[in-house]
Structures are given as structure tokens and as C-alpha cells.
Amino acid sequence: MFQISSSILEACVIAVLHKGDAYGYTLTQNVRQRIGISESTLYPVLRRLEKEGHLITYEEKQSGRLRRYYRLTESGMLEYEKNKQKWAEYCQRIESILYDNNQDQKEEKNETL
């Protein structure tokens, strides 16, 4: 498994919240199940995104307990769209390296022509 950068974690959290508000535990489990990181890794990401203005928190009582929910702000929605574009470009570049083993040979042929 590849190591996940904080930027990718932020993009994952924003993508989950793009689908709707989420309770902290549910949100962390959703991300954790897909990319196998610890729960404690995501809470600093949530705080950072809140500090940057990409999400807000609110509390609701459920079964007698106060739960913290996360919601994307307008800035977070814009960040989601930017992240999708950046990810598509990033994947395209990585795939061109991983799957196009002859890239160097093609460039050498073009230089000699």
C-alpha cells in the first residue's frame, strides 16, 4: 500500500462530506474502510479543514448524547471541485509513467528526427 499524504486525506474527507453532513465517527469509518488509516489520523485533518474554512461543525443530541457533525462550506464545495480536477491530472501523469514503459524511447526517436 502507498503512503497517503495529508493532501489526499483532505481530499477524501471533503469528498465524503460532499455527499452530505456526517457525524465524526461515521465519517472517519467511511474513509478508514477504504484506505486503511487510523481513526486518530483523520481528526487533525478535520480540524485543519475547519480552520481553513472548508467545513463547519455543529452538534446534535442523539440518543441522549451530543454528537459533532461536519458540513462543507461553500469554500469546501469549491475545494471538492478543484480536488477532482487535480486528482484526474495527477492520475493521468502517474499512469503515463506506470503504463507507458516506452515513453523514453519515443522521446529519443522524436529528438533524432
Q: What is the pLDDT of residues 33-44, one digit of tens each?
A: 998 888 888 999
Q: HSE on the CB side for 31, CA within 13 Å?
A: 28
The answer, yes or no, to whether residue 2 has pLDDT greater than 80, is no
By CB atoms closer than 10 A (0-12, 13-18, 19+), residue 42 is buried
Domain containing residue 49: CATH number: 1.10.10.10
Query: Over the stretch 64-86, which tens digit does the pLDDT of each residue have?
Result: 999 999 999 999 999 999 999 99
Question: Is there a contact between 76 and 20 (Cβ–Cβ < 8 Å)?
Answer: no
Residue 14 lies in a domain: yes
Tally of domains within the chain: 1
Q: Which residues contact 36 (CB under 8 A, 6 or more apart)?
A: 1
The percent of residues in the chain predicted with pLDDT above 90, rounded, is 69
Domain extent for 11: 6-112
Question: Is there a contact between 10 and 49 (Cβ–Cβ < 8 Å)?
Answer: yes
Q: Read off the C-alpha cell for 22.
A: 456526517
